[in-house]
Structure formats: structure tokens, C-alpha cells
Amino acid sequence: MSQHQIGNIIPEIHIDDYIYDLPEEQIATAPLPERDQSKLLMVQAKTGEISHHHFSDLPDLLPAETLLVFNNSKVIAARLALKKQSGGKVEVLCVEPSEPNSDIALALLAKGAVKWKCLLHGRNLKALMTLSTSVMHQAKPLLLKATLVEKGMESTLCFEWQPKELPFLEVLEAVGKAPLPPYLKREPTRSDKLRYQTVYAKSEGSVAAPTAGLHFTPAVLERLRQKGVSSAELTLHVGMGTFKPVQQSNVQHHVMHAEQISVPKQTLLTLHNHIEKGKPVVAVGTTSMRVLESLYWFGVKLLLKDNKVLHKSIMNVEQWEAYTLASQLSTLPATVQGLEAVLECLQKHSLDGLSGKTQLIIVPGYRYMMCDGLITNFHQPRSTLILLVAAFLGGELWKKVYNEALQNGYRFLSYGDSSLLWR
């Protein structure tokens, strides 16, 4: 779609309006000793009311019969310390697989060799250069070799290892470290492998944590269950694009990162049941929110009998697609109608879940269709995540919320404190 067409559909948004002063001392560089002792700021967007709590209070703050939707993606040990043949150190961050399969789950099961796009940090790196490391794994030597196939902003490395019968995931777990956000400016510790991971993580594939979930503990989850709060899971494998600031003045020129997603049929049925009965739905994190909203727009495409999706079971939602679809319709289909279209698609193809990619960007002016609430951390200035929060709260309320958090000593970013937002 041309920028002219986009400009006619969405409001002109300037990223300079979504900048705030974040003092260095309020960026959390490490997690608190206990996950659920983080602060929790609750906001009622309809009234502008703000209240202060701790995350352990969450079961008291959510109405009974709320549905919490979790992203169960698991962070992989994607950060590798390799050496050149000369002995020089090279830091490698695995970003996404390219061959033999771009599907993250399948690429992690690959044995013997695999190609990944990577970010490299080191001197005098040249094409066809070989990097390597070795460790003891299960009382046997494990040798990992990486050939620099293509050098660029994201370089392509061909990884090979011995013993070659090991899956690449096991190689990463043996050799790699937690891929901490670049702004932390510190080496990952052994404890980061545990703490930069949600307690409910299952599906390996993220190279950044879905951080809203880091505050949950087994005790908090049990108290939520006892109260009658139910849960559903989906998967979005978080990419490094989540840290990419909006560089262009006009947000229309920003290219949103696409991320792999999957949603079980049971989650779709649970969502349909809750929304049909008017019960509250709360997304745990911006990643869960983007998947949920993408589900609706995929359903709309099915309802419109879009030939690109009608005979396929693979979901794909492009960056501005929600806005173009909304502009074509005088009345948007009800949320349950969108979900029913997706469920019918699964039925038609005899599938027990939906998979694909989403590139959806949520900016002020976007109309939320799926959720009443959002649990999320406090995000970087100039980020697409700030835009999502601003869109959810409406108007200039996000500024008031962030000022309140700054003035009350909240810790920001991935290891920081949390918020519960109601629209």
C-alpha cells in the first residue's frame, strides 16, 4: 500500500508527541528478589482514576470471571560468545531462522546444521569467516562452529555442531545465555536464565521476554484461580524488533516487525464464550494484545471473503491492514462474528489451532475489539509499545499515567514494575 493511501486512512502521528524524559536511575537493571513484589499502577481510563498497588494484589483487583490471556512463549538462550580463529571475541545474537525452515519451532529442532539471521558484535568480521566455541555437555565435548555466510545489519550465520544428533535448541541451552535487552548494558548472569522467563513459559522461540508476565508467581496464579479468574494461552515469539524505536518523525513511515504466532482452538472457544457473555477479557502484555486484535482482523478478512485467506488456514495480518479494512466498512462486524469466522476456518481445514504471522501496529485512533484490560510494564520513549498504550487509554491520559509512575518511583522497562489498564 502506498504512503498516500495510508495517509488517507490513519491520522498523522508524530513520534515526538510520544517522548518523555526517562531518568537512567528509573530503568530497572535487575529483577526484584520476588517477582510479585513489583509495584502495580492501576488506571481506569473512563474516569482517569489512578491507584497504586503491588502485583501481589492483582487477584483483589480483577473481577471474578475475568479471562486472562497469556503469551506462553519461552525465551531461548540466543546470546552466544564465539571466537574467531585468531582468538578475537565475537558476540552473536540469534534473531530468526532462515534455512532449512523459517518456522522457529522447526528450526530449533534442526540437527547438524541450520542458518539464522544474527546480530554480530566484533571487530574485522568478514564473509566466510569461521567462529566457534566448545563446552562440555552431558560429560561429552560439544563443538559449535558458525560460518559467516552473509554480512550485513543482520548477518546470516550457518551453524554446524558435533554431536550432530543434538537439536539446535539443546545446543543453544548448553552454549548460550539469556538475550537481555541491549539497554541493560550488562552481561547476563546465571539467574537471568530463570528470571528473564515467565513461570508459565512453554513454547520455545522468543529472543526477548514477554515482560508483562514476569511478575506472575505460582502463588498469584493459584489465588487468581481460586477467585474464579480463568486463563487462556496463545503464543507470539517475541523478536528483537520489540526494542526498535520509531526513527521516522511520521509513524506512517515506520516498518513494523512481523512475529510468528499460534493460537489453540480451545483459546478461541474460551474467548468466544467470554466475549459473548460480556465477561471481561484482560491481555497479559502487548504481545498477547496484538495477537488478540490480529485474530479479530483475520476473522474480518474471512467474513469479507478475501480470496487471499479464504482457502488458506495460515493467518497473516499486515501492518496497516486493520485500518484499511475498517475504512472499507460502514459498520465493523461484532467481535464474536470475527471469532466465529476464524473457528469456522479451523473447522473447514480440520485444524486444532491457528498459526501464522502478525505485523499489526496499534496507534492512537485504533479501535480495540477484543480486550477490556491490559497488564503491561512501562515502555521506552519513541516505541511502538507507547503508541499501543496511548491508543488503549485514549487522548493524553498516557502522559498523566507515566508522569505518575515516574513521580512515585516506579521502575521502568523489562525488569521494571507493572500496570493494569482498564479502558
Output the domain CATH number for residue 371.
3.40.1780.10
The per-residue pLDDT for range 330-349, each reduced to its tens digit, is: 999 999 999 999 999 999 99
**Residues 250 and 375 grouped into a single domain:** yes
Residues in CB range of 303: below 8 A, 6 or more apart: 333, 337, 338, 341
**Residues 161 and 290 grouped into a single domain:** no
Q: Let me know if residue 189 belongs to a domain.
A: no
Q: Let me know if residue 191 belongs to a domain.
A: no
Beta strands in 101-167 (DSSP E): 113-121, 130-137, 140-150, 155-162
The pLDDT assigned to 307 comes to 62
Give the predicted TM-score (pTM) of the model. Answer: 0.94
**Residues 111 and 169 grouped into a single domain:** yes
Within 262-334, where are the H helices?
265-276, 286-303, 307-310, 321-328
**Residues 95 and 18 grouped into a single domain:** no
The number of folded domains in the chain is 2
Q: Let me know if residue 327 belongs to a domain.
A: yes
Q: What residue numbers bound the domain in which 123 lies? A: 78-176
How far apart CA 221 and CA 319 sit, in angstroms, is: 34
Q: Let me know if residue 292 belongs to a domain.
A: yes
Angle between helices 397-407 and 384-393 (to 10 degrees): 110
**Residues 228 and 284 grouped into a single domain:** yes
**Residues 252 and 397 grouped into a single domain:** yes
The pLDDT assigned to 207 comes to 96
In three-state secondary structure terms, 39 is strand
How far apart CA 370 and CA 293 sit, in angstroms, is: 6
The pLDDT assigned to 312 comes to 62
Q: What is the mean pLDDT of each run of 10 residues along the chain (423 residues)?
A: 58 93 97 98 98 99 98 98 95 92 92 96 92 95 96 94 97 96 90 96 97 99 98 96 89 93 98 98 99 98 78 83 93 97 94 95 96 98 97 97 98 98 98
Kindly state the cell numbers that stand for 250.
Answer: 511520521
**Residues 324 and 218 grouped into a single domain:** yes
**Residues 294 and 397 grouped into a single domain:** yes
The pLDDT assigned to 42 comes to 99
How far apart CA 353 and CA 345 sit, in angstroms, is: 10
Q: Are 37 and 56 in contact (CB under 8 A)?
A: yes
How far apart CA 378 and CA 413 sit, in angstroms, is: 5
Q: Are 233 and 266 in contact (CB under 8 A)?
A: no
**Residues 215 and 299 grouped into a single domain:** yes
Q: Let me know if residue 263 belongs to a domain.
A: yes
Q: Let me know if residue 186 belongs to a domain.
A: no
**Residues 53 and 107 grouped into a single domain:** no
How far apart CA 151 and CA 121 sit, in angstroms, is: 12
**Residues 262 and 371 grouped into a single domain:** yes
The pLDDT assigned to 7 comes to 54
Q: Let me know if residue 182 belongs to a domain.
A: no
Among candidate residues 289, 276, 261, the one with its CA nearest the CA of residue 374: 289
**Bridge partner list, 81:** 91
**Residues 226 and 164 grouped into a single domain:** no
Q: Let me know if residue 111 belongs to a domain.
A: yes
Q: Which of 160, 176, 192 is the last residue of a domain?
A: 176
The CB density around residue 311, as the number of other CB atoms within 10 Å, is 9
